[in-house]
Amino acid sequence: MGFMLANRFGQRVKELRIIYSALKHFETEIAYGLTPLPNAFRNIADRIDEPICKVFTHMSQSFGQHELTTTDIWTNSWELYMQDLALKKCDYDILFQLGHGLGQTDKENQLKHIGISLAYLQTEEEEARNEQHKHEKMYKYLGFLTGMMIVILMI
């Protein structure tokens, strides 16, 4: 139990890391390739690790339906995989914020939006790392101690 909780903190750091690099890729796709979103998301999905790559694959496949807006596609995809991810609400806030202007403005504006999200993600990641260090040990000890206690009690 304790180990699982501790793992969750580590997992969040890892996921934030992947999202950060995904957005970095996204930035280059827009800046140098002017790649349209469906293709850009597919390229990103090919280059990043699980579990985030699932989200981007899903996004790139959702563009066929005409009545969905770009923001819907972005938000829905993240919500679909929320269960599998260790991200917190504040992380999703950053992502959804980015989803609002997605694809609707010119290149410079898009890059600015992504830049802002990247900066937020970085602070978020640092915080997550601190938390990880602080809590990981505690949860591990706690888990270990509870285990010991159960063993002692049983004896």
Nearer to another protein, 7 or 75 (CB): 75
Number of chain positions touching another protein (CB under 8 A): 21
DSSP string, 40-83: HHHHHHHHS-TTHHHHHHHHHHHTT-TTS-HHHHHHHHHHHTGG
Q: Tell me the C-alpha distance between 143 and 138, whole Å.
A: 8
Does 50 sit near another protein (CB under 8 A)?
no
Does 72 sit near another protein (CB under 8 A)?
no
**Cβ neighbours of residue 85 under 8 Å, at least 6 residues apart?**
15, 51, 52
Does 2 sit near another protein (CB under 8 A)?
no
Nearer to another protein, 2 or 38 (CB): 38
Does 104 sit near another protein (CB under 8 A)?
yes
- Note the residues at the interface with another protein (CB under 8 A): 30, 34-38, 40, 63, 66-67, 69-70, 73, 102-107, 109-110
